Amino acid sequence: MPIDDAERERRRALLRAHYSAENNNDLERIMETFSADTEMLYNRQSFRDHDRIRQAHSYMGFSAQGAFRGLRTVPDHEHFTTDEIVIEGRLCGKHVGEFWGFPATDCDVELPYVAFYRFDAHGKLESERVVMNLGPLRRLVA
């Protein structure tokens, strides 16, 4: 079933709020964008409660410390399904700590990703699924 322009704009606005919180490295605001009953999938690893989702965002660098410094999400293209907004984008930052088994390189990196976001009727994220290409890190440590 196709979605109308109002629903597209609603999803865009909700996602902008989520990305704004991430790009400001504001962990509290990031967590406020998630519903109470949510799931985040990151490269097939499931995070089903707020504590684990908070830890995952902190580990990446969406807080004062983490694997990346100056971390930001850059959406390049958007698509819509019946239920989700889909983003092709890049995660950018300086790789300063271990990340998924890759030791720190102290290099600026851009990690391409595709992410699927589904919001509930209250405007909260009920599902965030991210598939990130870690190939750029693999090439740096090879």
The predicted model gives 80-108 an average pLDDT of 96
**CATH number of the domain within which 100 lies:** 3.10.450.50
pLDDT at 134 over 70: yes
Q: What are the two backbone dihedrals, phi and then psi, of residue 22, each rounded to the nearest 5 degrees?
A: -65, -45
Taking only the tens place, the pLDDT of each residue in 9-51 is 999 999 999 999 999 999 999 999 999 999 999 999 999 999 9
Domain count, the chain: 1
Which pLDDT belongs to residue 73?
96
Helices and strands counted in the chain (H then E):
4, 6
Which pLDDT belongs to residue 65?
83
Taking only the tens place, the pLDDT of each residue in 92-102 is 999 999 999 99
The greatest distance separating any two alpha carbons of the chain, rounded to the nearest whole angstrom, comes to 47
Q: Which of 85, 88, 114 is nearest to 8 (CA)?
A: 85
- Which structural domain, as residue segments, surrounds residue 51? 5-141
